[in-house]
Amino acid sequence: MSAMPPSLTSLTSYLLSKVGKNARGLLAERLAVKELRLWHMATLAALADFGPHAQRDLAQRLAIHTSDMTKLLDELAAQGHVTRDRDPADRRKVLVTVTPAGRDALAALIDEAEAVQDAILAPLSTDERTLLHGLLLRLHDGPG
């Protein structure tokens, strides 16, 4: 009982928003156990995948505000997951680097995300999951 309105569920845009929010919530719940949030995970992933960044470049890549990035990095640094050093070549910039501990933490976070994923995608077969991933990837890269 208590079904959702068909006027909404017939809209793909609404379903994307709703299913996405659900995924976000479950993911955040898991990450909270480790005192981390989604942005922490995204930040560690960017540093691990692309190497050290100036703080501003990091914020730009993840599309968050530099002021929020400052707080995020305060927290990650406090947990020993990143280090911050002035760029000797341009002392305005702060070079952010992921530590080995940060890489370990990221691996653990990815494990959590995969566990959540198994729960969310339970209704789908393996082939369907691959299909969905491919479609979402195109939506993600397509418009921006």
Residues that bind DNA (CB under 7 A): 37, 39, 54-57, 59, 64-70, 73-74, 84, 90-94
Chain centroid to CA 127: how far? 24
Binds 77: which of its own copies, DNA, none (CB < 5-8 Å by kind): none
Separation CA 38–CA 82 (nearest Å):
16
Of 44-103, which residues contact its own copies (CB under 8 A)?
A: 45-46, 48-50, 57, 60-62
Containing H/E element for 84?
Answer: strand 82-86
DSSP 38-80: HHHHHHHHHHHHH--EEHHHHHHHHT--HHHHHHHHHHHHHTT
Our CB check for DNA shows the closer of 56 and 138 to be 56
Residue with token string 């009982």: 1
Binds 7: which of its own copies, DNA, none (CB < 5-8 Å by kind): its own copies
Footprint of its own copies (CB under 8 A): 2-9, 11-24, 26-27, 38, 41-42, 45-46, 48-50, 57, 60-62, 106, 110, 113-114, 116-117, 119-124, 128-129, 131-133, 135-143
